[in-house]
């Protein structure tokens, strides 16, 4: 997500100041002629100095896999609070945009999508800490304008989340957990970046919260079918019952305790995958920011596949 945001902003003439981790891959960012800073989130003076150079902050960094809730707190809440404090100290920020996640609300009640006013019931440590970070952002809404975006599943070029799906299809295999009829929302990364730009360029109230989707609902059977049609592959369908998936998640949890490496599929991720409906309503951002998507799932998957193949990810 960060590289796509950086590319679109530089193309529109913005000057970028990008915070990076010690192990960040900066090869692409360097081609954009951005200002790069390896940030120590505990160094208040460094953060104040960096924040003093900018007019807007887009906070899209997050920890999506970790070994414990405390690690999620360190990755998702502490940096957010540090940035907010620095922004308040400098007092020149025109808007703080926080990239959260649809997961903060948890599953929807039946097929009716959740709205931004719905109660939040996150079911993973990742989602819980992103919700805590949201609450921190809202605390500063009187100090400077703040906006919270809650994207659904994002796919597209450089997406690590959907790379395994295309790898399976390449091997002529689709692996569906349950019956494949669980419904979710999706959006291409290119369209999501357009939503970020709308937040920068369209005036709206401080404290605004927006779900961001392409306005459609998809079950996993449709997602896999679209991927294999775009790839032009035939596949064998392997169906994994939820109890087996839960057992795999439990095994991965215990392996992670030994290896100290967080797994991609843990028991909490399986719990989210078991939700029949993970749906939200994005009409608010369409109405208030005049945001519209332009890519269908097929078009977005075609872009993703082309990038995967060009970058030797498949």
What's the pLDDT band for 53 if we cut at 50, 70, 90? very high
Identify which of 142, 147, 130 has the alpha carbon closest to the alpha carbon of residue 198: 147
| Cα(179)–Cα(241) distance, integer angstroms | 8
243 Cβ contact partners less than 8 Å away, ≥ 6 residues apart: none
Domains of the chain in sequence order: 2-310 (3.40.50.720)
E runs forming strands in 140-229: 146-151, 153-155, 173-177, 183-184, 186-188, 208-212, 218-219
pLDDT, tens digit (0-9, with 9 covering 90-100), for 86-114: 999 988 899 999 999 999 999 998 889 99
pLDDT of residue 309: 95
pLDDT, tens digit (0-9, with 9 covering 90-100), for 129-153: 999 999 999 999 999 999 999 999 9
Q: How far apart are the first and last CA of the chain?
A: 20
pLDDT, tens digit (0-9, with 9 covering 90-100), for 256-312: 999 999 988 899 999 999 999 999 999 999 999 999 999 999 999 999 999 999 999
Identify which of 131, 44, 128 has the alpha carbon closest to the alpha carbon of residue 83: 44
Cβ neighbours, 10 Å, residue 23: 6
Examine the pLDDT at 160 and tell me if it is beyond 90: no
Whether the Cβ atoms of residue 100 and residue 130 lie closer than 8 Å to each other: yes
Half-sphere exposure of 14 (CA within 13 A, CB side): 19
Q: Which two tokens stand for residue 111?
A: 């097929």
């Amino acid at each position: 997500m960060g590289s796509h945001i950086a590319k679109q902003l530089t193309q529109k003439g913005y000057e970028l100041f990008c915070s990076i981790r010690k192990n960040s891959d900066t090869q692409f960012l360097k081609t954009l002629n951005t200002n790069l800073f390896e940030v120590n989130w505990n160094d208040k003076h460094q953060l104040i100095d960096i924040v003093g150079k900018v007019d807007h902050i887009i906070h899209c960094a997050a920890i999506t896999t970790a070994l414990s809730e405390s690690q999620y707190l360190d990755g998702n809440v502490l940096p957010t609070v540090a940035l907010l404090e620095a922004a308040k100290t400098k007092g020149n920020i025109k808007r703080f945009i926080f990239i959260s996640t649809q997961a903060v609300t948890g599953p929807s009640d039946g097929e009716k999508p959740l709205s931004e006013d719905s109660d939040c019931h996150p079911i993973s440590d990742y989602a819980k800490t992103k919700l805590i970070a949201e609450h921190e952002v809202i605390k500063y809404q009187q100090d400077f304008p703040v906006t919270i975006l809650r994207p659904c599943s994002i796919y597209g070029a450089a997406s690590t989340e959907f790379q395994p799906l295309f790898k399976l299809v390449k091997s002529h295999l689709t692996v569906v957990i349950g019956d494949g009829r669980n419904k979710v929302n999706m959006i291409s990364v290119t369209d999501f970046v357009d939503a970020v730009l709308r937040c920068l360029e369209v005036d709206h109230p401080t404290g605004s919260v927006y779900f961001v989707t392409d306005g459609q609902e998809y079950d996993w059977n449709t997602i896999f079918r679209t991927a294999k049609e775009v790839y032009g592959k035939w596949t064998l369908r392997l169906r994994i019952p939820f109890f087996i998936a839960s057992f795999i998640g439990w095994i991965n949890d215990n392996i992670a305790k030994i290896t100290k490496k967080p797994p991609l599929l843990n028991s909490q991720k399986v719990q989210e995958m078991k939700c029949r409906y993970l749906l939200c309503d994005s009409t608010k951002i369409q109405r208030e920011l005049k945001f519209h998507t332009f890519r269908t799932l097929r078009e977005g998957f075609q872009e993703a596949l082309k990038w995967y193949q060009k970058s030797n990810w498949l």
